């Protein structure tokens, strides 16, 4: 293999590919990135056996071929090369080394045979559709904060993407929950997604997917089967196994009868919660909300550290209410609001609270209260 490629294009491709590589590996080949040069393109492929990323970069290929090198080392070298440098990659196949040359810099990296590199088996996808990057970004960004980190409840360790019945017909819906809070975000159902099976996209794949969705003008091709889901742009393809489990019936925990309504500026609210929570103990981080006649008093009482109180002017005209929440949960939910106002709907101090943006019901959040 012999090819030359511009440093910027090489860095982008290698950075996206190497991010899926696990730092601690018992299988040496999984620490490597597979480099394949053919035609006028170099392809970079990396996997951890659950997620596979394939990235393409334009290049001048003098001799087609393929090899694998340590992904992190290769990325670090490319990152440290000067901007605009032309990088030459040469592998004669016999020496077990990949030569990396740029200007006066020369490196020889140990390689492993490309035959040892595991390639994810192709799947028959039940549904194929396209969706604009901003739509998918909103679905996953607004729901991923609620993903559970408890390994014992593995079926909650991802975002449940499925077709659901919304207020105006079928929608593409993403849901995540950890038992303490829940996020449910809807988008118009793309053409071709009607037959899509519901899948739980793992937490790591959701994080990697964010790197595909940065360009607002990109259309993302999505393919879904019972066991895999694939997201693709013209340059990069991300394929991930889905979590093999049944997502719980989340509709039962979304309250529909909450009548007490609080309307508050979301950013002011999030900042106020952050300020009063400064004195609370890390373990519980409990914040008490007292609501009465267009006033909201946020207070924290931590016997070891002290206490704090802040008052906000809000829109609230229902009965007096005192209710406690985990400060981190309140902040994370408030930070999802793109518009100015967040609307909280309460029932009682012991019941789940619902939050939405103004009158928009396409994104709703549920948070469980706690005793304070």
Is 255-367 the same fold as 2-116?
Answer: yes
Contact 44/35 with Cβ under 8 angstroms?
A: yes
DSSP assigned state of 197:
P
**pLDDT attached to residue 35:** 96
Q: Given pLDDT bands bounded at 50, 70 and 90, which one contains residue 283?
A: low
- pLDDT tens digits, 292-333: 999 999 999 887 788 899 999 999 999 999 999 998 898 889
What's the mean pLDDT in 285-290? 91
- Report long-range pairs for 317-322 (Cβ below 8 Å, ≥24 apart): 317/293, 318/259, 318/260, 318/261, 318/291, 319/260, 320/290, 320/291, 320/292, 321/260, 321/289, 321/290, 321/291, 321/292, 321/346, 321/348, 321/349, 322/288, 322/289, 322/290, 322/291, 322/349
The answer to whether 269 touches 290, Cβ cutoff 8 Å, is no
**If you classify domain 2-116 with CATH, what class do you get?**
alpha beta
Give the model confidence (pLDDT) of 25-40 as tens digits.
889 999 999 999 999 9
**Class at the top of the CATH hierarchy for domain 127-252:** alpha beta
Domain ranges within the chain, ordered by starting residue: 2-116, 127-252, 255-367
Given this model, what pLDDT does residue 117 score? 95
Output the CA–CA distances (angstroms, integers) from residue 25 to 21, 36, 68, 117, in the order listed: 9, 23, 15, 14
Asked if pLDDT for residue 338 goes beyond 90, the answer is no
pLDDT recorded at residue 25 = 80
How many Cα neighbours within 13 Å face the side chain of 25? 16
Report percent pLDDT > 90 for the chain: 79
pLDDT of residue 339: 77
Residue 74 has pLDDT above 80, yes or no: yes
Does domain 255-367 match CATH 3.10.150.10?
yes
- Alpha helices (H) along 19-113: 71-80
pTM: 0.91
| Per-residue confidence (pLDDT) for residue 17, from 0 to 100 | 86
CA distance 35 to 47: 13
pLDDT digits (tens, 9 = 90+) for 177-224: 999 999 999 999 999 999 999 999 999 999 999 988 988 899 999 999
Concatenate the DSSP letters of all residues of 289-311 into one string.
EEEETTEEEEEEEETTTEEEEEE
> What is the pLDDT, as a whole number, of residue 369?
94
Q: What is the mean pLDDT of residues 103-121?
A: 92
DSSP 192: T
Phi, psi dihedral angles at 371 (to 5 degrees): -70, 140
Rounded mean pLDDT of 265-282? 88
* Tens of pLDDT, residues 225-259: 999 999 999 889 999 999 999 999 999 999 999 99
């Amino acid at each position: 293999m012999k090819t030359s490629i511009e440093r910027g294009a090489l860095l982008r491709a290698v950075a996206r590919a190497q991010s899926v590589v696990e730092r601690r590996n018992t299988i040496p080949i999984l620490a490597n990135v597979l480099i394949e040069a053919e035609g006028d393109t170099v392809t970079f492929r990396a996997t951890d056996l659950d997620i596979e990323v394939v990235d393409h970069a334009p290049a001048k290929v003098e001799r087609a071929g393929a090899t694998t090198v340590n992904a992190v080392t290769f990325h670090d070298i490319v990152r440290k090369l000067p901007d605009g440098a032309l990088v030459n990659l040469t592998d004669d196949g016999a020496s077990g080394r990949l030569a990396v040359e740029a200007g006066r810099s020369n490196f020889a990296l140990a390689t492993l045979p490309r035959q040892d590199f595991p390639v994810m088996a192709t799947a028959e996808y039940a549904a194929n559709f396209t969706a604009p990057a901003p739509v998918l970004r909103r679905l996953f960004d607004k729901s991923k904060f609620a993903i559970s980190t408890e390994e014992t409840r593995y079926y909650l360790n991802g975002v449940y993407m499925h077709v659901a019945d919304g207020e105006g017909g079928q929608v593409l819906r993403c849901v995540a929950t950890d038992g303490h809070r829940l996020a449910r975000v809807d988008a118009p159902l793309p053409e071709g997604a009607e037959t899509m099976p519901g899948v739980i996209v793992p937490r790591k794949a959701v994080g990697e997917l964010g790197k595909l969705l940065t360009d607002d003008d990109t259309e993302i091709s999505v393919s879904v089967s019972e066991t895999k889901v694939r997201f693709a742009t013209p340059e990069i393809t991300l394929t991930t196994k889905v979590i093999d489990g049944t997502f719980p019936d989340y509709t039962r925990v979304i309250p529909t009868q909450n009548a007490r309504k609080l309307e508050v500026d979301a950013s002011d609210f999030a900042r106020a919660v952050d300020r009063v929570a400064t004195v609370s103990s890390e373990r519980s981080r409990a914040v008490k909300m007292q609501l009465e006649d267009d006033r909201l008093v946020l207070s924290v009482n931590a016997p070891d550290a002290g206490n704090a109180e802040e008052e906000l002017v809000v829109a609230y005209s229902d009965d007096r209410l005192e209710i406690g929440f985990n400060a981190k949960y309140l902040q994370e939910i408030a930070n999802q609001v793109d518009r100015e106002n967040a609307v909280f709907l309460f029932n009682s101090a012991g019941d789940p609270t619902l939050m939405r943006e103004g009158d928009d019901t396409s994104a709703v959040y549920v948070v469980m209260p706690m005793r304070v």
